[in-house]
Each structure stands twice: as structure tokens, then as C-alpha cells.
Amino acid sequence: MPQFLDKIIDSVSHFWSAFTSSYDLFLEGLWLTLKLSAASLLIAFVIGLFFAILKISKFKPLEWIADAYIWIIRGTPLIVQIFVLYYGLVEFIIIPPFWAGVIGLAIHSGAYIAEIIRGAIQSIDKGQMEAGSSLGMTKFQTMRRIILPQAFRRAVPSLGNQFIIGIKDSSLVSFIGAQELFGVSSSLGSNSFDFLTFYIVVAVYYLVIVLVLTAVVNVIEKRMAKSD
């Protein structure tokens, strides 16, 4: 039993030593991860809203375009999409790993966000559109002023989950050379041949990010519930 406790103490001590000695590199990786995630999710939201509108369009060709995009993106792995984008575009234009990652993550998350927003819009009673028309609003005005605000409120929990997934998915950008959190942990692991310790360290960083984002989403949900 004492030997077991000694091993635990040594492991914790080793972990803490690795954590404190590498925090400056991980903070740089954290900043890159946050920038990468913020940029990609902002673009993904715009893409998702655009394709959600196409999806509910009564014009069939537009609906087919949205269906094809969502089917292709949701049916293929994100790492394959990033590789195709990065190594495919390099034949025509040199694009930095950061922006290749942003575009790849945005296109990927956009497909899921499109379905979230589409479902939220279609959950709104159709009478709301008729009410807008009776007030003299156009369909666009009714959608912007009445339907979308309600839809976004209903979509907050699902969007929050998708944003969390997007942040974790950003780790895949390390495979094209970006030194975000996971890239930093891989580099430190290869330099010290102690991959396990640094993978546990990076897991702690991701857990803290997810914890903070989850708390923010919960606060937003509660405020929206009070406003209702």
C-alpha cells in the first residue's frame, strides 16, 4: 500500500512539474485555439444560417443544394475535409494552416448548424408568419423580426453544444502544422518522449475551456428563459 501511494504521489508530482514548466507554451497554444475556434464558428454560423434558409425554401433546386452540402459534409470525416482543403488548395494557392483550419472547421460546423437552425425555424408555429403578413410585413421582415429571434432562442442549447464540439474539433488542425493546444502537447511529447503526461495536461486545458463555455451557455439560457 505505501508503494502504491508513493507511485501516486510521484505521478502527481511529475504531472504538476510538466504542467507548470510548459504553461507558457500552452497559453500560446490556447490563444491560437481560441482564435481558431472563434473565427471558424463565426463563419460557420453564417454558413449554417444561409443553408438553413435554403433548406426551408420552397424552391426545390435551392433545397437540393442545401441537402447535398449537408449530406457530403456530415457524411465525411472532418480530418479528411481539412486534408482535402489544405493539400488540395496548395496546388493553386498557398494558404496558411491557420486559415485552412478556419475554413475547414467552418464548412464542417456549418452543416450541423444549418440543421440546428432549420429545426428551430420549423418549430415556430406557422401562424407567426401569417401574423406578420397581417401586420403588413414582407416574408423577409417577418422572418427577421419575428421568426428568427424566437428560433435562435430555441436553438441556444444545441448551438452551445455545437460550439463546444467545434472547439474540441480544432485539435485536428494540428495535423496540418498549426501549433494550437493539441499541437503544443504533441511537440512537447515528442521532445521529451513523455506523450502521456502532456496529453493529460492538454486534456485539462480543454476541460477548463468546455467548463467555462458550458457555464456561459447556461447563463444565456437562463436569461432568455426569464425574458420569455
**Residue 43's domain is classified under what CATH number?**
1.10.3720.10
Rounded distance, CA 176 to CA 101, Å? 8
| 124 in any annotated domain | yes
Q: Which stretches in the chain have pLDDT values below 50? A: none
107 part of a folded domain: yes
Closest to 198 in 3D by CA, of 181, 178, 180: 181
Please give the Cα distance from 12 to 79 (Å, whole number). Answer: 33
The CA distance from 158 to 37, in Å, is 17
Residue 92 domain boundaries? 31-173
pLDDT at 178: 84
pLDDT in tens, 144-200: 777 788 888 888 888 989 999 999 999 999 998 888 899 999 999 888 888 888 999
Does the residue 131 lie in any domain?
Answer: yes
Question: Is residue 99 a part of any domain in this protein?
Answer: yes
Q: What is the count of structural domains for the chain?
A: 1
DSSP H helical segments within the chain, as ranges? 2-21, 23-55, 60-75, 78-89, 97-122, 127-134, 139-142, 148-169, 181-192, 195-227
Q: Which of 69, 48, 42, 37 is nearest to 173 (CA)?
A: 37
